Amino acid sequence: MNSPTVELKLPILPNMELVATQTAEIIAKHMHLSEDQSGEITMALIETCINAFEHSKAGNNIFIHFIIEESSLVIKVIDQGVGFDKSKVAIPKIENKIGKDERKRGWGLQLIQALMDSVEFESNDSGTTVTMTKNK
């Protein structure tokens, strides 16, 4: 039997990531995840959506699938943009940003990886899928 799945289609508009986080909160409650786990999912989802909105150059929408499994929640964030090479994304350190010319932004991937139990990136020139898992 297929795992129950909630699918969202989000237009690329300001703060639309909050629509995804509201859905995630309801699913987290349904799965009896803790408030800490729910918060971590919320934050990781916000960052993943923002990355897709800002960097993918996707057309109008991104797609999010929440897959409710027995022992985990799997979230796929899918854009149909230009893709990216994760190996070229620098790991940010605040020491390199404070008092220096380096831009202060660029924390998304680090946050996503720190907050979720596993994260996988599949990317090519026709889009990116980020698959994030939070175990129960």
Partner 1 sequence: MSDFKTKVSAVNEVVIIETEGYLNNEGGQIIYDICIEKLASGSRKFLLNLSGTKVVNSIGVSIIIEVIEKLQEVEGKLGYYNMAPIVEKTFHIMGLSKYSSLYKTEELALLEF
- Which amino acid belongs to residue 58? A
Residue 111, CA atoms < 13 Å, CB-side half-sphere: 17
Instruction: Determine if 98 is a binding residue for partner 1 (CB under 8 A).
Output: yes
Instruction: Determine if 99 is a binding residue for partner 1 (CB under 8 A).
Output: yes
* DSSP string for residues in 24-62: HHHHHHHTT--HHHHHHHHHHHHHHHHHHHHHS--SSEE
Instruction: Determine if 79 is a binding residue for partner 1 (CB under 8 A).
Output: no
Binds partner 1 (CB under 8 A): choice among 1, 32, 85, 105: 105
Instruction: Determine if 117 is a binding residue for partner 1 (CB under 8 A).
Output: no
Beta bridge partner(s), residue 10: 62
Query: Of the listed pieces 1-9, 80-88, 90-98, 120-128, which binds partner 1 according to CB under 8 A?
Result: 90-98
Instruction: Determine if 17 is a binding residue for partner 1 (CB under 8 A).
Output: yes
Instruction: Determine if 108 is a binding residue for partner 1 (CB under 8 A).
Output: yes
